[in-house]
C-alpha cells in the first residue's frame, strides 16, 4: 500500500471520527430505545397518537393569571426533568414521582416542581425522577409504574393521586412490563439519526429548542374550541373564551366546577391500583407510598369566584365543595392503603391550613398550583416520609 493511500485512509478515518464526535454531541440519544412518554399518552379526538415530545420545550400560558410563559424543558424521554440514566448515582438514593400535571409542575418553573422541592428538602440526599404526565390518569400511572420501577429501581416510589384522578372509570391493570432495548453504542450516530427521524420526525438540535404551545390555538384539532365553539361559548365569559381559543388559557376548563362536583361525591373508581402499585414495588425492593393532592375547591371557597366565570350555566351560586361529601376520596384511599399496609400521605390538611390563613397556593383562574404550593407539597411529602 502506497504512502498516499495510507494518508487518504487515515484522513478518511479522522473525518469519520470527527464527524461521529460532532453528531454524538449535537444529537444525543437516550439509553433505552423503546421507552418514551408517548407510550403513556391518550389519543387525540380523531384517534391519532400524541406528539413525540422528546428533547422538546413546551409552553404553558394562563394570561388571565399572568403574562409569564412557563417552559417545560423535556429530557430525551419526553419528561420534564434532567436526563435519566438507569445506573443510580453512588452517593444518593433515588425517588420516583408518578402523577399528572401537578407532578409535572404546570404553572411553575422547571426547578419549582414537587419532585424538586422534595429533593431540596432532602438536602441532595435523593435524586428525584419526575414522572409527571399532563392530562393523564390512573391507566397511564400504572403503565409507567410497570415500565419505570423495574428499570430504574428507585428506593422509594410516590404514586401521587390528584383529586380528578378518581371517580371515573376503573383503571386497566397493565398486561406487560417494559423490556428495555438499549441503543447499540457502536452504531454510527448518523445512522441512528436517520432511523430516529423516520420513526419520530426530525430530531432536535441540542441548543435550538424553540418552545411550542402544549395546546395549540384554534383551528388546531387538539383544541376543543375548533370543533365545539358553538356550544362552549355559552359556558364562559367572552374574554375567557378568546383566551381559550388562543390557548392563552386552558381550553378544557369549560364547566370544570360542575364536573368536579359530580365526580368528587361519587365512589372512587380505583380498582386494583394500590395493590398493583405495591406488587411492582415489592418485586423490585422499592418502598411504595401513595400521596393525595386535593383540588383547590376541596380546601376553600375562595376560587369559586373565578371558576364560575367559566361555568356560567351549570354552577349555582350556593355550590361549595369543602364539606364532608366531597372528601370521600381521601378517606377511601386512606382505608385501602391501611388494609394493604402501604404508607399514605394526604396533604389536604396542610394546604387547607394555609388557605384558611389567607395564603393562596393555587392560581386564580388556572387550577394548578403556584410555585409556593408545589414547594409546600414537596416539603410535606419529605417530612411525612421521613417521619413514617
Nearest Cα residue to 104 out of 58, 43, 172: 58
pLDDT exceeds cutoff 60 at 50? no
Q: Report if residue 18 sits inside a domain.
A: no
Q: Report if residue 10 sits inside a domain.
A: no
The number of distinct structural domains making up the chain is 1
65-80, pLDDT tens digit by residue? 999 999 999 998 999 9
Nearest Cα residue to 330 out of 351, 316, 311, 314: 351
- Regarding predicted confidence, which is higher, 283 or 202? 283
Q: Report if residue 20 sits inside a domain.
A: no
Range 109-131 average pLDDT = 97
Model-level pTM greater than 0.85? yes
Predicted local distance difference test score (pLDDT) of residue 48? 44
pLDDT exceeds cutoff 70 at 184? yes
Q: Report if residue 91 sits inside a domain.
A: yes
How many other C-beta atoms can be found within 10 angstroms of the C-beta atom of residue 52?
A: 17
Q: Report if residue 209 sits inside a domain.
A: yes
Q: Report if residue 67 sits inside a domain.
A: yes
Q: Report if residue 24 sits inside a domain.
A: no
The mean pLDDT value of the chain amounts to: 90
- Chain length of the chain: 388
State what percent of residues in the chain have pLDDT above 70. Answer: 88
3-33, pLDDT tens digit by residue? 777 767 766 676 667 676 766 667 777 889 8
The SS3 of residue 270 is: coil
Residue 96 β-bridge partners: 129, 157
Walk across the sheet containing 212-213 and list its strands. 66-73, 57-62, 212-213
pLDDT exceeds cutoff 50 at 359? yes
Q: Report if residue 122 sits inside a domain.
A: yes
Task: List the domain range (segments joined by +) for residue 371.
Answer: 37-387
- CATH code of the domain containing 69: 3.40.50.1110
- Cell numbers that stand for 119 in this block: 429533593
224-260, pLDDT tens digit by residue? 999 999 999 999 999 999 999 999 999 999 999 999 9
Band of residue 295 on the pLDDT scale cut at 50, 70, 90: very high
Predicted local distance difference test score (pLDDT) of residue 52? 59
Amino acid at each position: 500500500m502506497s504512502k498516499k493511500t495510507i494518508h487518504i485512509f487515515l484522513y478518511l478515518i479522522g473525518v469519520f471520527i470527527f464527524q461521529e464526535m460532532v453528531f454524538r454531541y449535537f444529537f444525543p440519544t437516550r439509553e433505552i430505545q423503546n421507552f418514551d412518554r408517548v407510550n403513556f399518552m391518550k389519543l387525540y379526538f380523531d384517534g391519532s397518537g400524541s406528539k413525540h415530545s422528546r428533547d422538546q420545550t413546551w409552553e404553558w400560558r394562563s394570561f388571565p393569571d399572568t403574562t409569564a410563559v412557563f417552559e417545560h424543558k423535556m429530557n430525551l424521554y419526553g419528561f420534564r426533568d434532567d436526563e435519566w440514566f438507569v445506573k443510580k448515582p453512588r452517593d444518593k438514593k433515588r425517588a420516583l414521582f408518578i402523577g399528572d400535571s401537578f407532578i409535572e409542575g404546570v404553572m411553575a418553573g422547571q426547578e419549582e416542581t414537587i419532585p424538586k422541592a422534595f429533593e431540596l428538602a432532602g438536602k441532595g440526599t435523593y435524586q428525584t425522577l419526575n414522572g409527571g404526565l399532563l392530562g393523564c390518569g390512573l391507566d397511564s400511572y400504572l403503565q409507567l409504574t410497570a415500565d419505570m420501577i423495574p428499570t430504574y429501581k428507585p428506593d422509594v416510589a410516590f404514586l401521587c393521586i390528584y383529586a380528578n384522578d378518581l371517580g371515573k372509570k376503573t383503571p386497566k391493570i397493565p398486561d406487560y412490563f417494559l423490556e428495555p432495548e438499549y441503543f447499540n453504542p457502536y452504531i454510527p450516530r448518523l445512522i441512528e439519526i436517520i432511523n430516529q427521524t423516520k420513526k419520530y420526525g426530525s430530531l432536535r438540535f441540542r441548543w435550538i429548542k424553540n418552545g411550542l404551545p402544549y395546546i395549540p390555538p384554534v383551528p388546531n384539532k387538539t383544541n376543543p374550541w375548533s370543533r365545539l365553539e358553538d356550544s362552549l361559548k355559552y359556558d364562559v365569559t367572552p374574554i375567557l373564551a378568546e383566551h381559550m381559543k388562543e390557548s392563552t388559557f386552558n381550553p378544557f376548563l369549560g364547566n370544570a366546577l360542575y364536573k368536579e362536583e359530580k365526580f368528587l361525591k361519587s365512589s372512587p373508581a380505583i380498582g386494583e391500583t394500590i395493590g398493583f402499585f405495591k406488587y411492582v414495588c415489592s418485586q423490585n425492593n422499592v418502598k411504595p407510598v401513595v400521596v393525595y393532592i386535593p383540588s383547590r375547591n376541596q380546601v376553600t371557597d375562595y376560587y369559586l369566584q373565578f371558576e364560575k366565570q367559566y361555568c356560567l350555566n351549570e354552577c349555582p351560586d350556593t355550590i361549595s365543595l369543602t364539606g364532608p361529601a366531597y372528601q370521600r376520596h381521601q378517606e377511601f384511599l386512606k382505608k385501602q392503603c391501611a388494609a394493604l399496609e402501604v404508607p399514605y400521605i394526604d396533604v389536604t390538611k396542610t394546604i387547607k391550613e394555609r388557605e384558611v390563613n389567607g395564603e393562596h397556593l393555587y392560581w386564580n383562574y388556572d387550577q394548578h398550583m403556584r410555585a409556593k404550593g408545589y414547594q409546600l407539597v414537596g416539603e410535606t411529602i419529605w417530612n411525612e416520609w421521613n417521619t413514617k
